[in-house]
């Protein structure tokens, strides 16, 4: 996952902003995207990105067009770099070491409630024969529970999605408000989908608390976007 340093953007977007829809100079964003693509050994035209809509639609690199609506991408072709964009939402990367297939997932609270991570596991299983127990999963930087205040409608949505009780807690300083942790909900969903708990690795980084990160909430919407990226690999066996 990229952090905010190492690019050419300026001001609130300094410096490795990868989002085109946040008000940054388009040439600067294009340069930043090319820097990231080259770092991972692909041409910028081989970065599979989506128009993220906070849902649970899964797209396939090389089949669906770049920029299609969706919040998860799967592939088994190392020629594609999968990229999801975030600045508080939870990026989830998945790798099947047996087949080499991968997934990149963008999980905001709406997508998490809709089951986008579980949908990505199902897509890997259906398309590439992935066994859930083989998957290695990584959670990137995202806003975490102590910094993520939500209203009762979000707390109710978490409960309806089967979130563990500790995923949403009353905010002790604000009556009627809650603190929610998307990573806790997504982890529970992955375990229900058959992913082994020891195979889920969390960076633990909070975008709102860490100055290395862009944070939409901390910066009142005037900020950049990170990418979380992954490429398919040659199967281990």
How far is the CA of 206 from the CAs of 23, 32, 124, 227, 228, in angstroms?
A: 24, 23, 28, 15, 14
| Rounded-to-integer distance, Cα 174 and Cα 150, Å | 10
Q: Look at the chain and count its residues.
A: 237
| Residue at token pair 């409608």 | 153
How far is the CA of 152 from the CAs of 43, 107, 116, 145, 178, in angstroms?
A: 45, 19, 22, 15, 7
pLDDT of residue 234 exceeding 80, the answer is: no
pLDDT digits (tens, 9 = 90+) for 122-135: 999 999 999 999 99
The more confidently predicted of residues 235 and 65 is 65
Q: Where do the domains of the chain lie?
A: 11-144+200-231
Q: Does domain 11-144+200-231 have CATH number 3.20.20.70?
A: no
pLDDT digits (tens, 9 = 90+) for 216-232: 999 999 999 999 999 99
Cβ atoms of 138 and 203 within 8 Å: the answer is: yes
Predicted pLDDT at 237: 61
Looking at the whole model, is its pTM more than 0.75? yes
Distance of CA 158 to the CA centre of its chain: 18
pLDDT digits (tens, 9 = 90+) for 107-119: 999 999 999 999 9
Average pLDDT value for residue range 147-176: 96
| Rounded-to-integer distance, Cα 130 and Cα 121, Å | 8
């Amino acid at each position: 996952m990229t952090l905010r340093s190492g690019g050419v953007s300026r001001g609130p977007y300094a410096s490795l902003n990868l989002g085109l829809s946040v008000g940054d100079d388009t040439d600067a964003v294009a340069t930043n995207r090319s820097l990231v693509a080259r770092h991972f050994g692909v041409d910028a035209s081989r970065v599979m990105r989506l128009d993220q809509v906070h849902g649970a639609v899964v797209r396939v690199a090389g089949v669906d067009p770049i920029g299609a609506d969706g919040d998860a991408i799967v592939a088994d072709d190392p020629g594609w770099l999968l990229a999801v964009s975030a600045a508080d939402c939870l990026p989830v990367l998945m790798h099947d070491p047996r087949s080499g297939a991968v997934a990149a997932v963008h999980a905001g609270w709406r997508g998490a409630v809709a089951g986008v991570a579980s949908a990505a596991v199902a897509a890997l299983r259906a398309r590439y024969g992935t066994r859930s127990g083989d998957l290695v999963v990584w959670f990137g930087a995202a806003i975490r529970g102590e910094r993520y205040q939500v209203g009762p409608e979000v707390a109710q949505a978490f409960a309806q999605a089967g979130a563990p009780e500790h995923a949403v807690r009353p905010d002790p300083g604000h009556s009627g408000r809650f603190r929610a942790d998307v990573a806790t909900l997504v982890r529970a969903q992955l375990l229900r989908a058959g992913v082994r708990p020891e195979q889920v690795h969390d960076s633990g980084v909070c975008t709102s608390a860490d100055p290395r990160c862009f944070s939409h909430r901390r910066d009142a919407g005037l900020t950049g976007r990170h990418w979380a990226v992954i490429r398919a690999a040659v199967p281990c066996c």
